[in-house]
Structure 1
Amino acid sequence: MSKVDKIQFLEVLENEVEQHLKIAIHTFQNLNEAVLLQTPNDGGWSIAQCFEHLNSYGLYYLPQIKNGLDNHAKHSLSDSFKSTWLGTYFTKMMLPSNTKKYKAFKGHIPPVNLHAHAVLAAFIEQQETLLSYLKQARNVDLDKIRIPISITKWVRLKLGDTFQFIIAHDSRHIQQAQRVLAEIGNYQKMS
């Protein structure tokens, strides 16, 4: 992958996170708890489970990102970012355009019984935190800071790759939640 302008790269990611916030607040936040907890007919996750899955990743990655940002002083500043092949691979796996299904890793499988509104509130808070970290990242070298991935601490992605992966993963499951909402709405109309 070729080098990209760091500020433009971060602005694209910030816009995606802002879109995620908008969808969470305007589409899901004020839905009835029963709707948020209703599982689709195919036996997949409820809307609340989709967001709880994302929250589990946020609980891992946000502190890792904060740590990387807090300890950035030893890194020289760069105006560009270049993704690694592994970062690109993980991001492409998570893009909503990739229709292949993946099994959630242990520790990231959401329970059925959830307090749905608390789950949405936690997601919104995590997205606001992620947005603040993206803004802080303008002042660090995205190539030098390495973040251990959640499935094995031995593999570390560049901070820029970590941002891309998390945001693609968020998009994937927000779209899943939107499909569940559409299915529930269509099912209720037929009843």
Structure 2
Amino acid sequence: MAPVNKYQFLDYLESRVEGHLQEAIKIFQNEIEAVLLQAAPNGGWSIAQCLDHLNGYGHFYLPLIASELQKPQLKPASEIFKSSWLGSYFTRMMEPSTGTKKFKAFKNHVPPPNLDAPVVVAEFIQQQENLLAYLKQARHVDLDTIKLPLSITKLIKLKLGDVFQFLIAHNERHLLQAKRNLAPVVKNQTHTA
């Protein structure tokens, strides 16, 4: 990936997170629990499971991001961000437009079927609000020099900018999956009326 202006990059990521936040509030926040917990017609995850899966990643990455953002910066922050090849690869795998291959979730990220759906939705919304705040704070740090371990292995670290990109692409992927679960529910309800 070519170097990009950090501020434009963060603006773009903020707009995506704002969209995810608004969707979660509009579509899922007031949905009945039965709809949120209904498994996908193909046997896939329910809406609540999709969001719980994302919350699991948030539990890992958001505290690390918050901790790094609070550390004093040793040098002036660059106005440029350049994604690493590994960061670009992981992001492309998760982006709905470029990552069309399906992946099996890592064992520690598989959500249980019995969830308190309203709590899961509320937590997802809170995490998106936190992520927005961290993106705003990131304007004052160097996105290239701060590195965070991956949730699957502490041996590999990604640049903060890459972690933001990956998380947001991953959120988008599973929000689309969750929204696909709504169409069959609506169709079934209209047939029974």
Cα 1:151–1:75 change in 2 (3 A) is: farther
* Aligned 8 A contact 1:95 1:168 in 2: yes
Compute the displacement of 1:72 (Å). 4.4
Compute the displacement of 1:6 (Å). 0.3
- In 2, the alpha carbon distance for the partners of 1:149 and 1:187 equals 40
Structure 1: any 5+ residue segments left out of the alignment?
A: none
Give the residue type in structure 2 aligned to 1:93.
Answer: M
| Structure 2 counterparts to residues 1-191 of structure 1, below 5 A | 1-97=1-97, 98-191=99-192
* Aligned 8 A contact 1:40 1:184 in 2: no
- CA-to-aligned-CA distance 1:137-180 (integer Å, 9 cap, x gap): 00000000001110000100000000000000000000000101
- Name the SS of the counterpart of 2:181 in structure 1: helix
- In 2, the alpha carbon distance for the partners of 1:189 and 1:85 equals 48
- In 2, the alpha carbon distance for the partners of 1:183 and 1:3 equals 43
Compute the displacement of 1:27 (Å). 0.7
- CA-to-aligned-CA distance 1:112-143 (integer Å, 9 cap, x gap): 00000000000000000000000000000000
Length-normalised TM-score, structure 1? 0.97
Give the residue type in structure 2 aligned to 1:2.
Answer: A
Length-normalised TM-score, structure 2? 0.96
Give the residue type in structure 2 aligned to 1:88.
Answer: S
Give the residue type in structure 2 aligned to 1:3.
Answer: P
* Aligned 8 A contact 1:147 1:158 in 2: yes
- In 2, the alpha carbon distance for the partners of 1:53 and 1:43 equals 16
- Number of residue pairs the alignment of both structures matches: 191
Give the residue type in structure 2 aligned to 1:90.
Answer: F
Cα 1:60–1:137 change in 2 (3 A) is: same
Amino-acid identity (%): 59
